Amino acid sequence: MSDNYISCREENGSINISEDVISSIVRAAVNEVDGVSGLSTTAGAELAELIGLKTLPKGVTIRFDGDRIIADAIITVSYGSNVVNVAKAVQNAVRNVIQATTGLEEAEVNVHVSGISFDR
């Protein structure tokens, strides 16, 4: 579980949204984009998970910079899809879901294409 939250102060109190919540929402949005065959993780993250250092959310990293959310998605693209178009569609989907669910307009979305998947 993450200890990082983005906070919104209201007159009735504050609203705190966990990094894990945003990560789950982003994962769902990425998986709905045509041409994305899945999320992946880096080799370093897999090694850390193997030796029990930390369980990382697969394929999505969320960071907070003030009132701005920075999202990184590591994806695998289906063979035959236009890689750039799929990556742009992921950026748009993630930015839209972050804005719709948090109300924050400032979202940076970085898409990392780690591979191509082939149908068997």
Q: For each of the domains in the chain, give its residue range(s) and CATH number, in order of start.
A: 19-117 (3.30.70.1350)
- Check residue 112 and give its pLDDT: 95
Bigger pLDDT: 61 vs 44: 61
* pLDDT over 70 (residue 11): yes
For the segment 65-114, what is each residue's pLDDT rounded down to a tens digit?
877 899 999 999 999 999 999 999 999 999 999 999 888 888 999 999 99
Give the pLDDT score at 65.
Answer: 85
Please give the mean pLDDT across all residues of the chain: 84
3-state secondary structure the chain: CCCCEEEEEECCEEEEEEHHHHHHHHHHHHHCCCCEEEECCCHHHHHHHHCCCCCCCCCEEEEEECCEEEEEEEEEEECCCCHHHHHHHHHHHHHHHHHHHHCCCCEEEEEEEEEEECCC
pLDDT at position 116: 93
